[in-house]
Structures are given as C-alpha cells and as structure tokens.
A = this chain, B = another copy of it.
Amino acid sequence: MTKRGKTRPDDPSGRYSYGGLERIMHERARLGILTSLASNPKGLPFNDLKELCALTDGNLSRHLQVLQEAGIVGIRKSTAKGRSHTRCRLTAPGRRKFLAYLSELEQVVKDALGDESEDGAREGLSPA
C-alpha cells in the first residue's frame, strides 16, 4: 500500500494494460516509419524512408503494405524521366490514430518514471 492512489495494488483492473498501444503501430520498425512520416508532413520518398529507418527494401515494403491496408499511410507512385518514384505520407486518419497512440506512449513514460505527487515525493523510476 502506498500513499498515492494510482499505484495501489487495488487500482482498477487493467490500470497498466495500455490498450491504446495498437499493435499495428507499436511494432518497432513501423514506429520508426510513422515517426519519420510525422516529422515530414509532405511525405518522404521510399529511399529516404528506407535510409532513415535503416530497413531493407523488402522489410520497408512489407511494413508499408500493412500500414497502407490499415489506411494509416498513403503511397503514391509516379514516373518521371523514365524512372519510377514512390512517395509515402501519413493519411489524415493515420495522423489521428498515431497521435492517440503517442498519447498512450506518453502515459507509459509518465507512469514508469513517476509524477510529482502533492507532497513532492516521487514514485516510479527516477531517471536521476
């Protein structure tokens, strides 16, 4: 038993289940892809994304397909000067979903590192 309600063992069931961490976005490589695209609102060419996320062609293609099928990422293919280009960006619903995911991620960090309580005491891991 502790002084603060949120960490009492009799907290509501599922207090730390983090259902908002949707698996489709939580996968590590996809998290990198989504963060790259969030930082580049105009989208990114396939090759830049591959470089930024340190992924192989095959891996990036596979993850992009999953994200596209879920409506999170949009992919536009075009041809210029005889070469094909692939450009990827977050869709509007994808942006909203990723924001909701990030807010749950922030909650995890907050829960784990501990907040200041009213009397100034900290609980959780102290990064100091």
Q: Give the oligomeric copy count.
A: 2
Q: Are B113 and A7 in contact (CB under 8 A)?
A: no
- A45–B54 alpha-carbon span in the complex (Å): 41
Q: Are A125 and B98 in contact (CB under 8 A)?
A: yes
Contact of A112 among B23, B28, B38 (CB under 8 A): B38
The closest CB in chain B to the CB of A51 belongs to B13
Main secondary structure of the interface of A (DSSP, over half): helix
Q: Are A39 and B103 in contact (CB under 8 A)?
A: no
Binding site for B on A (CB under 8 A): 2, 6-7, 9-11, 13-18, 21, 23, 26, 28, 31-36, 38-41, 44-45, 48, 51-55, 95, 98-99, 102-103, 105-106, 108-109, 111-114, 123-125, 127
Contact of A53 among B14, B51, B112, B127 (CB under 8 A): B14
Q: Are A54 and B13 in contact (CB under 8 A)?
A: yes
- A127–B107 alpha-carbon span in the complex (Å): 14
- A9–B103 alpha-carbon span in the complex (Å): 26
In the assembled complex, the CB of A66 is this many whole angstroms from the nearest CB of chain B, namely 17
Q: Are A35 and B99 in contact (CB under 8 A)?
A: no
Contacts of A40 in B (CB 8 A): 2, 7, 9
Q: A38-B124, A39-B123 are in contact. List 20 more A-B contacts (CB 8 A).
A: A6-B39, A7-B40, A9-B40, A9-B44, A9-B48, A9-B52, A14-B51, A16-B39, A17-B32, A17-B52, A18-B31, A18-B32, A21-B28, A35-B111, A38-B113, A39-B112, A39-B124, A41-B123, A98-B125, A106-B109
